[in-house]
Amino acid sequence: MISVYKLKPKFQQLLTPVLLFLHKNHITANQITVSSILLSVVIGVLFWNADESRWFFLSLPIGLLLRMALNALDGMMARKFNQTSKLGEVLNEVGDIVSDVIIFFPLLKFQPESLYLIIIFIVLSIINEFAGLIGKAIGKERRYDGPMGKSDRALILGVYGLAVFFGADISGISKYIFGLLIILLIISTYIRLKKSLHEA
């Protein structure tokens, strides 16, 4: 299945100089993870208040790209410099779920015509992450199979932020968009669970 996650190795290569700089300055993997969570809170707050200033919509493409970089860096730091820990795993997994809810929640304010679909989308996003975790619990590894994994959702929301910033109005088609995203999330969750059970 097509997923932005497949570009991760190339993305990580680009981030290697940043990784080495952070390590040189004694920044730990867990500190990067916490920074990612705090950044997500800032993105969510700015997004919620984007009706006061259209510029706040740019927090989505810019902030989410930075969040993706931090999410990649914490894993790279932990693996390359032997900083893996149970606390790090908890911070990473719980932080991702909480961050997603915080960032996606303002959609309820800006696309009220799709209220129930957005709620379903957020709930399925949480279930999708748990489906990935189950792979580690019963199989060999955590599953990141797409479509509509964490990276894909970040891309979609980033594009949404840019579109609204430039004056696009999706209220007439938002139900179809979120309906499609829900279908993709269901497919992604099914694939993750199927592959986890196959490995087990």
Q: Which uninterrupted H or E stretch holds 192? A: helix 174-199
Angle at 3 between CA 111 and CA 74, to 5 degrees: 90
Return the DSSP state at 45: H
Residue ranges and CATH numbers for the domains of the chain are 4-199 (1.20.120.1760)
Ranges of the chain with pLDDT below 50: none
> What is the CB neighbour count within 10 angstroms for residue 82?
9
Lookup result for tokens 């993750």:
192
Q: Which uninterrupted H or E stretch holds 19? A: helix 8-24
At residue 143, the pLDDT reads 86
Amino acid type, 191: I
Residue 199 CA to residue 114 CA, distance in Å, equals 37
3-state secondary structure of 156: helix
At residue 5, the pLDDT reads 65
At residue 159, the pLDDT reads 96
